[in-house]
A and B are shown apart, each in its own frame.
Chain A
Amino acid sequence: MGRYLQLLKLQLRTSALLAAQYRWDFLIDGLISLVWAATAIAPLLIVYSGRSQTMIPGWSMNEALVVTGWFILLQAILEGAINPGLQAVVDHIRKGTLDFVLLKPADAQFLVSTSRFQLWRVVSVGTGIAVFFIAFGRMGRAPSPAGLAQATVLLCTATLVLYSMWILIVSTAFYVVKVDNLTYMFSSIFDAARWPSSVFRGVLKAVFTFVIPLALMTTWPAEALLGRLEPVTLVYAIAASLGFAAASRTVWLLSLRRYASAGG
């Protein structure tokens, strides 16, 4: 365990070195973060203002803004900590260099998951938190301590689910040759999480509840912060995230075994 912490520290240090080398990335990532935040908030402004005065059922503008804050925060985690490492697996598989990773005396999933971080994406975490402050400032109240605690738990479950889904997608890279676009695809499906889940109905609602649990990632944490989450939802979230994690670990190990027996 201590060894893995050491490894994580080392990998983070390497990423920090890289981040410092590409100094323009700081500015550009900051800019990207602001633009993405704008793309997340602009639709809300449009839905809730202007001549149309339309709204999303059960959500005031400020409440919906909290969902958007979670969306920005999780996108930062996805693109800063999850995407880069798993993109590395895809690169490894394509170039046939995964063998070097498998030869190392540490868990391969851990090694690839921590191999790269986009540290400048921290800027987006700041943006997401700023959105929370603005939303609660406009509502003139603060989240309750209980709500904050629930939200923290949900942040962990949401990250775990995101990560597990990613592992599942990357595992397909062992079966399909070209998966360069997969990262892109997942990011754009995740885009739908910017809306409170109540906007979706019918088939999409089913897909976004059971296949890709978007509600778990942004809507539930927002409800927790707003202090209106049913406590039992917390149990669902924990159960679902553990289920996803177990499933993804199993699939990962199966894929590795297949990779090893196929000889690359």
Chain B
Amino acid sequence: MISVRGLKKHYRVHKRPPGLKAALKSLFKREYTTVPAVDGIDFEIKPGERVGFLGPNGAGKTTTLQVLAGLLYPSDGEVRVDGHLPQKREVAFLKKIMLVMGQKQQLLWDLPPSDTFELNRAIYDVPRDEAKKRVDGLIELLQIGDVVNKPTRQLSLGERMKCELAAALVHGPKVLFLDEPTIGLDVSMQVVMRDFIRTYNEQFGATLILTSHYMDDVAALCPRVIVIDKGQLSYDGGLDELVQRVRPEKRVAFRLSAAVPLSALEGLGKVVKNDGAEAVLQVPVEQVNAVVGKALQSLPVKDLTVENPPLEEVMSELFSRSRAEKGKAA
């Protein structure tokens, strides 16, 4: 469905040095630098897959999405989406895809979302009955029946984002690019959006690429993740394997009936937390059983759980590690 080979996107930007003097100087002479936003990426995505793009700010996730959607021209390499070269922006291609950006909206600000739905129906030339069926389905699924006839400006952020998604799906795109679709939403609304996106993917078999700051989005939605850092692909595969690879440790959390001294814990593993009521240890996977056994004998344990380290921490470790490696290489 999507194939990306050797994708590069370089920008030439004007250096803007700080200070008035330097600014005056740049009136006459400008210096440019080339910034490699994406610097050689390859991947293939099969129809119906849900893939998450992970990476720190400025890693090149959004740039990659924009190239895939045909908004940006690749500097080098080849990108194909369902057989089309996106940058040509052919009508047949545009009708197959949609890009939803959490920070940019397509809904008409002073009109109700239903008008935007109708506008998109006309622009994408969807037959009326087909569009009606689809829009009714979307309204029910997203539970936006009572907001689609209010002017967009009066809607809450969550309602607006739901309508934004619905507007993007009026033409039933086969490929859906989602750039930070849950940004700024509260936790329960994030869950609603996630459930909807998964349902849409399962019902219609649409291919889905998502970038998000919220690791939970990616964990809940995407069996496969692609990690982009500094414009390069640093991981492509299952989310669980990624966690295994970066942090081959588990977290063992004990609820304690009495406080224990730090020294009693330090022999068992790396202490993450010890506040009297709860203690958390970080333990290599193969030692988990032994540690649990020892702890049950020596500590006043009421209850214990074994879990993966939080995804946020895994990511920050992954990114800081790859940065350190690059620093060494340079």
Contacts and interface: CB of A to CB of B under 8 A. Distances in A.
Interface stretch (A13-21, A51-59, A83-91, A102-110): A13-21
5 contacts: A16-B20, A16-B23, A20-B20, A21-B26, A26-B27
Interface string A13-55: 1001100110100100000000000000000000000000000
Nearest to A21: B23
Top-8 shortest CB links A-B = A20-B23, A23-B27, A17-B23, A20-B24, A20-B27, A17-B20, A16-B20, A21-B23
A122 B267 CA distance: 75
B245 interface: no
B16 A13 contact: no
A249 B24 CA distance: 37
Interface residues of B, number: 6
Contacts of B26: 20-21, 23
Interface of B: 16, 20, 23-24, 26-27
A13 B23 contact: no
A17 B16 CA distance: 11
Interface residues of A, number: 7
Nearest to A23: B27
A20 B20 CA distance: 8
Contacts of A17: 20, 23
Interface in A1-21: 13, 16-17, 20-21
A211 to B, nearest CB: 31
B105 to A, nearest CB: 14
B16 A21 contact: yes
A13 B27 contact: no
A36 to B, nearest CB: 24
Contacts of A21: 16, 23, 26
Contacts of A23: 26-27
B174 to A, nearest CB: 36
B6 to A, nearest CB: 35
Nearest to A14: B20
A155 B23 CA distance: 33
Nearest to B19: A17
Q: Which of A16, A20, A21, A26 has the most CB of B within 10 A?
A: A20
A21 B27 CA distance: 7
Contacts of B16: 21
Q: Which of A16, A23, A26 has the most CB of B within 10 A?
A: A23
A23 B26 CA distance: 9
A176 to B, nearest CB: 14
Contacts of A20: 20, 23-24, 26-27
A83 B24 CA distance: 24
A261 to B, nearest CB: 21
Contacts of A13: 20
A16 B23 CA distance: 9
B155 to A, nearest CB: 15
B293 to A, nearest CB: 57
Contacts of B23: 16-17, 20-21
A21 B20 CA distance: 10
A19 to B, nearest CB: 9
Nearest to A18: B23
Nearest to B26: A20
Nearest to B14: A21
A18 B23 CA distance: 9
Nearest to A178: B110
A86 B20 CA distance: 25
A208 to B, nearest CB: 35
Nearest to B24: A20
A26 B26 CA distance: 13
A220 to B, nearest CB: 38
